[in-house]
Amino acid sequence: MRKFTGIISLILMFMIPAALYFAKSQEPEDSAADNNSVSSESASSSTSTTIESTTSTTSESTQTTATTDSQPPKSKLNKPSEAKPYPELAPDDWIDVSINDQKVYFKRGDEVLYTMNCSTGLEGESATPLGEFAIESERGETFYNQGSGEGANYWVSWRDHGVYLFHTVPIDENGNYIESEAESLGVQASSHGCIRLSVPDAKWIYDTVPVGMRVVVRE
């Protein structure tokens, strides 16, 4: 009996440390498994966020592009004809008006300093007269003609002392620009004989062009 009890004690001496070692060896594996699970969930969340962000950015970009493409072109009414600054004029500079081109060229000799889109008189009784003229002393900020039902701003006379003018696109009786008329600038004749221009172009002539500057109107 004592011999049997000794054998059992011997067996227990080996089994208990082995059991403890086995239990401890399982803890890091479980911890690593938990860490792997957390990392996997984090990576999955990050990937999902990235995909959602990319999808949102692409959608916003597509929407912005579509909105931009659907915008109508800006009116010529309030735009200078060229992106560059207006020129500094010299005493011998002159104005060349082309009926065929629907353009006003500011020139120094044969060099074009600046080109403006314009709209000249309709054919027939409203045609803009051809020939060589000069800027006259009459000019003003605004006028309105009851007979034609139109007026204009920033006018400068170049023939018959207030009859033939450079001026803006026409205004109505309330002083509002008739914006649809701006679409004719640089494209076709539409005036009663005067030379219509965008608002910035007409104002620059009103502010800058001196009395006596030569004006040539040709086909």
For residue 74, what pLDDT is reported?
Answer: 62
For residue 146, what pLDDT is reported?
Answer: 92
Quote the longest CA-to-CA distance of the chain. Answer: 146
For residue 65, what pLDDT is reported?
Answer: 41
Tokens 């170049």 -> residue: 158
Question: Are 144 and 178 contacting, i.e. CB atoms less than 8 angstroms apart?
Answer: no
Reported residue count of the chain is 219
Q: How far apart are CA 88 and CA 90, in angstroms?
A: 7
161 is catalytic: no
Burial level of 134, CB count in 10 A (0-12/13-18/19+)?
middle
For residue 98, what pLDDT is reported?
Answer: 98
Burial level of 72, CB count in 10 A (0-12/13-18/19+)?
exposed
- Adjacency order of strands within the sheet including 139-145: 139-145, 150-159, 164-168, 195-197
Tokens for 45, please give them.
Answer: 């969340």
Catalytic pick among 118, 161, 192, 194: 194
194 is catalytic: yes
Catalytic pick among 118, 161, 167, 192: 167
pLDDT tens-digit map of 96-131: 999 999 999 999 999 999 999 999 999 999 999 999
For residue 75, what pLDDT is reported?
Answer: 83
For residue 73, what pLDDT is reported?
Answer: 52
- Angle, alpha carbons 52-53-54 (nearest 5°): 90
For residue 42, what pLDDT is reported?
Answer: 42
Tokens for 157, please give them.
Answer: 């006379």
Which stretches of the chain score pLDDT less than 70?
A: 1-74
For residue 15, what pLDDT is reported?
Answer: 54
